[in-house]
Amino acid sequence: MMTAKAIYLGNLRVENLHIKSNNKYFTDAPTDNHGKGEAFSPTDTVATALANCMLTVMGIKAQQLNVELKNTYAEVTKTMASNPRRISKIEVKIHFPKIYESKTAQILEKTAKTCPVLQSLHPEMQKEIEFIYPA
């Protein structure tokens, strides 16, 4: 079954339709590559997908552990390289809303590092993952 449909709308904009939910999002070319930067670029979606995946698998594990993960958030920084143009580095800083027991924190962090998106990214791409707890 088809997962999504991407439709080129012109002016470097693409409409993306998730078939099962009928949800949509748009991408634009970035300002450093002939675009307006009015939406996520395709490479922004890749970098953000990493954070989304990590948060999702941690959420699944948190449910199993009966631990509240709500309001955990990730900051994502993407670095591009050229020749060929590609993502050279993705940095993800995951901020937890509270301090967890040491074993729980270790399980959540290990789970995040096993997310399918992280496992699918090119091995030469730098991935910097940081877990931040309140002081």
pLDDT tens, position by position, 93-133: 999 999 999 999 999 999 999 999 999 999 999 999 999 99
Reported as a pLDDT band with limits 50, 70 and 90, residue 27 is very high
Angle value at C-alpha 94, between 90 and 96, nearest 5 degrees: 180
Confidence of residue 89 (pLDDT cuts 50, 70, 90): very high
Residue 87 pLDDT: 97
In order of 80, 83, 91, 96, 126, the CA distances from 86 in angstroms are: 6, 8, 15, 30, 12
- State the Cα–Cα distance between residues 86 and 3, nearest whole angstrom: 24
Q: How far is CA 93 from CA 20, 25, 27, 124, in A?
A: 30, 24, 23, 20
Whole-number average pLDDT of the chain = 97
Rounded CA separation 24/40 (Å): 13
Q: Which amino acid is at 35?
A: G
| pLDDT for the residue numbered 74 | 98
